[in-house]
A and B are shown apart, each in its own frame.
Chain A
């Protein structure tokens, strides 16, 4: 079943157009990789899905509901959980407070999050701004899960982290996929890990969908052409 549907999406920052023609869908339980070089519109697309940026034209539906007129908090309440680029935990709240502040009823509670991220349990009374980058990232994921989303969006979740910590985050994403069946939209630059975790991929080029297909169909020619790797 289609969870998120985006068709011919356009969006602007003031007068300058950032998204021209974005198209893709995400099904329940699917992991979709959103790819593209820097400045191609990945984060803008995510901001539009989360209603932090209003789109101008096109279709944007979540679970059959038009997101067009909804404010950001309503989109989140429908079940869109965002792990933002740069983590952005609430710095002067403790780990536990970060989680409790955003909690909504469902499977994910401080207890289940603690079981999923034992490190967060160890650090539960520590201020978020005193955590390491990896721990902050876990907290950002935990905080998004506490909203009990149907779709989890991870924007550059491994950026700026040490290689060992990156592997931990990828392991978490893999566990989320296999153990929870949560739909995940993941934006990242590390192709190798994306290949392991994602079912399908969408490549953005200059604010438009340039390619969409199964991860297994993503050939070296395509990655060379659109991702420059």
Chain B
């Protein structure tokens, strides 16, 4: 049996070591794959706060991921064309600065999460799933019908945005940036989990009535967690858009929400490094099996089925011989 902290350290080192080795060997594609894993894992870390700690089964998190992506796309496209986003009542121009884009992506996705969460968290169970799905789809269809920013075709950004001191077009440098963000967010997620707020959030998931009886307000606690979760997904969306230099309504679709949820479940719901492991498995399957068959997701489905049936703690739970981190 491996201790979970040791396993987490090993996973972290592996995800740092493989791209560095690939860089030494000139395997650029491997670095890009690792970057993609980091970005998707970042979205998973966001969802894991809502799903793993708070027990909120949201099928609308792609909305925040997509909003982050569109925040990047809109700002960068205006910076490229030198056309301001708006001129009246005050001038807002585009930008190619990643930090500025990330802050705006976090704010926009946070506002959306606050609005969606405030309404959907008044419900529970299947109703919550359906309401988050409905909000997600509303935003998806809005993006499709928004011709100014590409509509159904999406929006291409020709050059990756800038980060001070880095050449983001160099794959290893962009990977380092994404990996640093992921590490920072995992660290913050760990601090959140072990804070009094995180404990109250987990208590809310385990017994809502009892939580109220000890003077806590589950609605408020869940809403805060939902907003934090949405903001992280928004950041992931912005970074993902920069990785692909492209945003499209697909980022907002419920399929994306499902994929992010799959990362978390494969890795082990509620576990700190679950999204990273889950995203890695997903991308590896897509990479290796996608070349064999267009229907590679059948194998993903089988794997997911096996995890749910035989390893409820996900891959991390299986390796640490522990049941699900949370009920």
Given contacts A88-B207, A91-B206, contact A100 B199 (CB under 8 A): yes
Q: Smallest distance from the beta carbon of B170 to chain A beta carbons, Å?
A: 44
> In the complex, which of the residues A84, A98, A100, A103 contacts B213, with contact meaning CB atoms closer than 8 Å?
A84
Contact check, A90 vs B210: say whether CB atoms are below 8 A apart.
Answer: yes
Contact check, A102 vs B209: say whether CB atoms are below 8 A apart.
Answer: no
One of A68-76, A196-204, A207-215, A216-224 at the interface: A68-76
Q: What is the total number of residues of chain B having a CB less than 8 Å from a CB of chain A?
A: 19
Residue of A nearest to B209 (CB): A52
**B3: CB under 8 A from chain A?**
no
Contact check, A76 vs B202: say whether CB atoms are below 8 A apart.
Answer: no
Which residues in window 167-223 of A have CB below 8 A to B?
A: none
Contact check, B199 vs A93: say whether CB atoms are below 8 A apart.
Answer: yes
Contacting residues, chain B, for A91 (C-beta < 8 A) = 206, 327
One of B4-12, B109-117, B179-187, B214-222 at the interface: B214-222
Contacting residues, chain B, for A141 (C-beta < 8 A) = none
Q: How far is the CA of A21 from the CA of B217 in the complex (A)?
A: 31
Contact check, A93 vs B203: say whether CB atoms are below 8 A apart.
Answer: yes
Closest 9 A/B residue pairs (Cβ):
A76-B215, A101-B199, A72-B212, A102-B214, A90-B203, A77-B215, A97-B199, A90-B206, A101-B203
**A147: CB under 8 A from chain B?**
yes
Contact check, A92 vs B214: say whether CB atoms are below 8 A apart.
Answer: no
Q: Smallest distance from the beta carbon of B222 to chain A beta carbons, Å?
A: 13
Interface of B is mostly: helix
Q: What is the total number of residues of chain A having a CB less than 8 Å from a CB of chain B?
A: 26
8 A-B residue pairings within 8 Å (CB atoms) = A73-B213, A90-B202, A90-B203, A91-B206, A101-B200, A104-B215, A146-B214, A147-B215
Number of inter-chain CB pairs below 8 Å: 68
Residue of B nearest to A72 (CB): B212
Binding site for A on B (CB under 8 A): 196, 199-200, 202-203, 206-207, 209-217, 325-327
Contact check, B210 vs A73: say whether CB atoms are below 8 A apart.
Answer: no
Contacting residues, chain A, for B207 (C-beta < 8 A) = 88, 90
Contacting residues, chain A, for B196 (C-beta < 8 A) = 100-101, 103
Contact check, A102 vs B202: say whether CB atoms are below 8 A apart.
Answer: no
> In the complex, which of the residues B202, B210, B212, B327 contacts A88, with contact meaning CB atoms closer than 8 Å?
B210
Q: How far is the CA of A8 from the CA of B67 in the complex (A)?
A: 56
Beyond the given pairs A76-B215, A100-B196, 6 more chain A to chain B contacts, judged by CB atoms under 8 angstroms and listed by A's residue number, are: A50-B213, A52-B213, A73-B211, A101-B199, A101-B216, A144-B214
Q: How far is the CA of A147 from the CA of B202 in the complex (A)?
A: 17
Given contacts A101-B196, A101-B199, A103-B196, contact A92 B213 (CB under 8 A): no
Contact check, B327 vs A92: say whether CB atoms are below 8 A apart.
Answer: yes
